Amino acid sequence: MQTTHSTTLHQLPQVQEQRNDGMPLDLDWVMAVQANTSAIERRAATLPGRRSVKKDYQAAWLCKAISLIDLTTLSGDDSEGRVRRLCAKARQPVRADILEKLGMTGLTTGAVCVYHDMVETAVDALQGSGIPVAAVSTGFPAGLSPFHLRIAEIGESVKAGAEEIDIVISRRHVLTGNWQALYDEMKEMRAACGDAHVKAILATGELGTLRNVARASLVCMMAGADFIKTSTGKEPVNATLPVTLTMIRAIRDYQERTGIKVGYKPAGGISKAKDALVYLSMIKDELGDRWLQPDLFRFGASSLLGDIERQLEHHVTGAYSASWRHAIG
């Protein structure tokens, strides 16, 4: 990660990437995919110590991280009031006095992610902001409701105004090696999304091996996923560096063969500013600067924003504040 403002806050031209329309299932390619777990884990273990940014450069990278957050609430006790407060935070993610001292304007999160029932509330609260609403769908988080109901749920979320749909795959298709079934399922879900972009949640903590993660990533991209996402956030193990390395190398392979850029979203367990910096450095190293834009990279997080705001306050004041001073919703 280079420590210059030009690369840290560099805003690439907002080119409209060609959407991933997918391709026919290539089982020869899928079955040829392997994952050297020990090598992946060794590489991932070196990442936290290989890149370091300090002072103004760190603050700039943390602002970049904020712009890539899908600010999320997925709790059983969600209410309209909570979602509206979350949307207000998405519009103004850092206190105005801190942003003023940083010389930052126009900073928002990348999106707001909610359950279907809260989509209309979020769309209303974000009106005029340009911040999209993402809805978790298809029987989230287990994905075990009847398939026709999962497809119907996608349609209802799109109708309510969601511009992005986070779907969950059937893990059993991966665990039994039924790649055709996974491809067909993903393809139908992609079609149901229409113009809304679809993020395929792999629930990597439940897929058993990194090889399964790599193959599932590839199959979902072949079926038209615009993003591949690690987790629902509800599994015992969510986003990890080895899983991330596996998935973004699948993205790189897919782009090299097809010319199509697919986005990546790590979700669950990323709660510290220092962790966000490690993920950003990995993306920059493996995929390049183009993936450091919200149309190709997102953090699925909520508490992460609070810790980043706390670090930014320390940067401008020299003192750490209590976490309760940076409420999310």
Q: Are 202 and 213 in contact (CB under 8 A)?
A: yes
Query: Counting beta carbons within 10 angstroms of the beta carbon of residue 20, is it exposed (0 to 12), middle (13 to 18) or buried (19 or more)?
Result: buried
Q: Could you say which of 265, 275, 284, 307 is catalytic?
A: 265
- Cα three-residue angle 250-254-259, rounded to 5 degrees: 150
Report residue 125 as tokens: 């609260």
Report residue 88 as tokens: 């207000």
265 assigned to active site? yes
Q: Which of 31, 29, 18 is nearest to 259 (CA)?
A: 18
Residues present in the chain in total: 329
Question: Long-range contact list for 122-131, CB < 8 A, 24+ apart?
Answer: 122/83, 122/86, 122/87, 123/160, 123/161, 123/162, 125/83, 125/84, 125/87, 125/88, 126/87, 126/90, 126/91, 129/90, 129/91, 131/87, 131/90, 131/91
- State the angle between helix axes of 210-222 and 241-258 in degrees (0 to 180), rounded to the nearest 10: 40
Report residue 217 as tokens: 């990533």
* CA 199/CA 133 separation, integer angstroms: 13
Q: Could you say which of 64, 89, 199, 229 is catalytic?
A: 229
64 assigned to active site? no
DSSP string for 107-162: ---SEEEEEGGGHHHHHHHTTTT-PPEEEE-SSTTTT-S-HHHHHHHHHHHHHTT-
Could you say which DSSP state residue 91 is in?
H
* CA 124/CA 242 separation, integer angstroms: 38
Dihedrals phi, psi of 275, to nearest 5 degrees: -70, -40
In the chain, the amino acid numbered 222 is M
Q: Could you say which of 166, 226, 275, 307 is catalytic?
A: 166
Which residues carry out catalysis?
166, 229, 265
